[in-house]
Amino acid sequence: MDTKVLKDMITVIRTEQKRRTSLLQNADPDFAYDNWLFTDGPFLNELCLIFMVALRHQIERDLVGLAARANETKNEISGKQYQENITKVRRTNNAGKNTGWDWKEIYKRLDLKNCDNYIFVEALSLLSNSYKHEHSMEPNDELLSLLRLGIGVNYASLPESDALREGFAKFIGIKEDSDFCDIAEQFIDISKNFLINVESRANLCKVKWGPVSLNPDDSAR
């Protein structure tokens, strides 16, 4: 996981946050308040939420790669064997079509639930599900329960919910008034440490890649 690139993304969001804040400094106070509450704030929050969803999927890609190297009896496998192992952790239907990753097998190979920071990565997964699948983008009950927030209460959508933002901040151990940029940046470090722990605990083999062709006709862009 390239944390520098990820943190650069948060820097871009922070820069836009400062730009929008600066534009409102000399505006009518009532206009500035409403604009931040209903337009700029939710927009910037959603950028962070989209980033966190993407971060969760990057973690998944890294876990798939680790699972393909786990539980091997050899110290080293070829790039071809590695790609075959990737295929083995896919789910397929009766027609042989890929239907996603076999997370039960991946969890088993890497013993994920016993890894450091697993609970925080699980929160990212539940956030992703809420963002992608809930009709009004509200937090689902599983996420609320994990963050120890009340269930059966009407929440604002994810980008507009102060309760959710505060709940996430408390959950990951930073100041309650932290913004979503702070939360997203903290999740980068959490995710990095999680993957390091997964890798240190698993019995992983090395992959010996073959030579790479420098012929431009062998590649597509």
pLDDT tens per residue, the chain (221 residues)?
889 999 999 999 999 999 999 989 888 999 998 999 899 999 999 999 999 999 999 999 999 999 999 976 778 889 999 999 998 888 877 766 777 888 999 999 999 999 999 999 999 999 999 999 888 889 999 999 999 999 988 999 999 999 999 999 999 999 999 999 999 999 999 999 999 999 999 889 999 887 766 666 666 66
Is the residue at 17 inside a domain? yes
- Token match 């190979």: residue? 109
Residue 219 lies in a domain: no
221 within some domain: no
23: left (phi over 0), alpha (psi -120 to 50) or beta: alpha
Domain assignment present for residue 35? The answer is yes
Q: Is residue 215 part of a domain?
A: no
Within a domain: residue 187?
yes
Residue 92 tokens, joined: 């397929």
Please provide residue 204's backbone torsions phi and psi, each rounded to the nearest 5 degrees.
-105, 140
**Residue 213 forms part of a structural domain:** no
Q: How far is CA 100 from the centre of its chain?
A: 17
Q: How many domains does the chain have?
A: 1
Does 212 reside within a domain?
Answer: no
Residue 42 belongs to what domain range? 3-206
What tokens does 32 get?
Answer: 């500035």
Q: Please count the CA atoms within 13 angstroms of the CA of 77 that sit on its side-chain side.
A: 18
